[in-house]
Structure 1
Amino acid sequence: MDKELRSYSGEIRAEQREGDVTHIVGYGSVFDVLSEPMWGFREIIRPGAFDDVLGDDVRGLFNHDANFVLGRTVAATMTLTVDERGLHYDIIAPETPTIRDLVIAPMQRGDITQSSFAFRVAPGGDNWYEDDDGVIIREITKVGRLYDVSPVTYPAYQAADSSVRSLLDWKETRARTLQAINAKAARERELDLFNI
């Protein structure tokens, strides 16, 4: 399955701890919160979804751009944890003029306040259903690969082809099931009419 990007418009901040370097901290994802509508469905990430990927080689990037590496888990310049709220990250920001001007200063001014994460769903790690209001929900229960967490300028959901394909597969399966149910009901009505 392809890499997917998701954003969370919650808390992210740059903080300088006394006598320490600047840290970029935030949540890449939160649990049990429905996303905004995207491509005809809404998404929710469940607790436990990240349990198997916290040991992945994950990057902290700015705007998902590999040219702006902020930290990396295997280099111990970024830590990932999961708490009751969601996937939390803490990046030790590089002490470079580029990162200070491009990322830290705008964060401190409140210009950059949102986060995103790039991932791949594990096989069988999502469920599709329709809620009582007719809204299609994709429930993610298991992430198969976590690529990066990123402070982002625009938290817009980016084209995630694999999500769209997965939604189309679910709709096709659902349509075939409904067709079979309707065909069976029609046959039963016909048999009732002829008292067979």
Structure 2
Amino acid sequence: MGGGKTAAPERRALPVEVRARGRRLEGYAATFGAEADIGGLFVETIAQGAFSGSLKRKADILALVDHDPGRVLARTRSGTLRLSEDSRGLQFDLDVPETSYGRDVLALAERGDVGGMSFSFTPIEEHRDGNRRELRSVELHEVSAVLSWPAYDGTTIQARSLIVPAPIRLYAERTLRILELSR
């Protein structure tokens, strides 16, 4: 970065997986080392620790639906969004609001229909080598549940539930017994 210009925030999106646990979504908004083809212009990876500066500054980071600031799912300032880094990537855990879009995202995540996770950032430090770009440090603005196609592979989103409703549990148990008897 340099030259006195403020760079426009960039966005990256990633695919997901789903499990159930109450009104929470959790998973990875970004994974380290995964390659993403950015519009045929370059191949991008994220270095481990790229988000640590944003997390240490305790900036107010939002969780949105499809990067839409009108559909806020959670935020770090209120404690409804929790972010951390591990050796795999940027983990998130959020409390889903009781709103129409919150219910929609939760229902789609439970069915496995959410396309992935995405994040919006401004690069602070990067390394370029030909058509390759490695993000080494970024200012994270938001993470988003993406309902269509993400850019990065390896992200996850899970709907978590500690309690399985009795009708679903009984149906699953009967289905397993039928499958066992049919072998």
| CA–CA distance in structure 2, aligned partners of residues 9 and 98 of structure 1 | 19
Percent of aligned pairs sharing the same letter: 33
Which residue of the other structure, out of 66, 69, 72, is the alignment partner of 2:75? 72
Q: Deviations over 1:8-60 (max 9, x none)?
A: 1244x36324xxxx101121110011113524210010001111001211000
Aligned mates of 2:70, 2:38 — CA distance in 1: 30
Query: Which residue number corresponds to residue 191 of structure 1?
Result: none
Aligned in 2, Cα 1:77/1:39: closer, same or farther, shift over 3 Å?
same
Under a length normalisation based on structure 1, what TM-score does the superposition of the two structures give? Answer: 0.68
Change (3 A) 1:48 1:3: same
Which of the residues 20, 26, 32 maps onto 1:15? 20
1:38 corresponds in structure 2 to: 39
Match of residue 89, structure 2, among 86, 89, 92: 86
RMSD of aligned alpha carbons: 1.6
Distance 1:156 1:114 in 2: 6
Q: Secondary structure at the match of 1:141?
A: strand
Counterpart Cα distance in 2 of 1:98 and 1:37: 28
Find out whether 1:5 has 2:11 as its counterpart.
Answer: yes
Quick one: which of 138, 146, 149 aligns to 2:143?
Answer: 149
- Superposed structure 1 runs of 4+ greater than 4 Å apart: none
Question: CA offsets per residue over residues 63-116 of structure 1, 9 Å max, x none?
Answer: 11111110000000010010110001001001234421x211111111114100
Compared with structure 1, are the counterparts of its residues 32 and 152 closer, same or farther at alpha carbon in structure 2 (3 Å cutoff)?
Answer: same
SS at match of 1:104: helix
SS in 2 for 1:53: helix
Q: Which runs of 5+ in 2 are unaligned?
A: 1-6, 152-183
- Structure with the higher fraction of residues in helix conformation: 1
TM-score (norm 2): 0.73
Distance 1:79 1:156, change over 3 A: closer
Question: Quick one: structure 1 residues 98 and 114, their matched pair in 2 at CA, closer, same or farther if it must change by over 3 Å?
Answer: closer
Q: Partner letter of residue 47 of structure 1?
A: Q
Question: CA, structure 1 residues 14+119, in 2 after alignment: closer, same or farther (shift >3 Å)?
Answer: farther
Letter in 2 for 1:2: A
SS at match of 1:94: coil
Give the gaps of 5 or more residues in structure 1: 131-135, 158-196
Distance 2:15 2:150 in 1: 10
Contact 1:44–1:140 (CA under 8 A) maintained in structure 2: yes
In 2, the alpha carbon distance for the partners of 1:29 and 1:46 equals 10
Equivalent residue number for residue 112 of structure 1: 114
Aligned length: 143
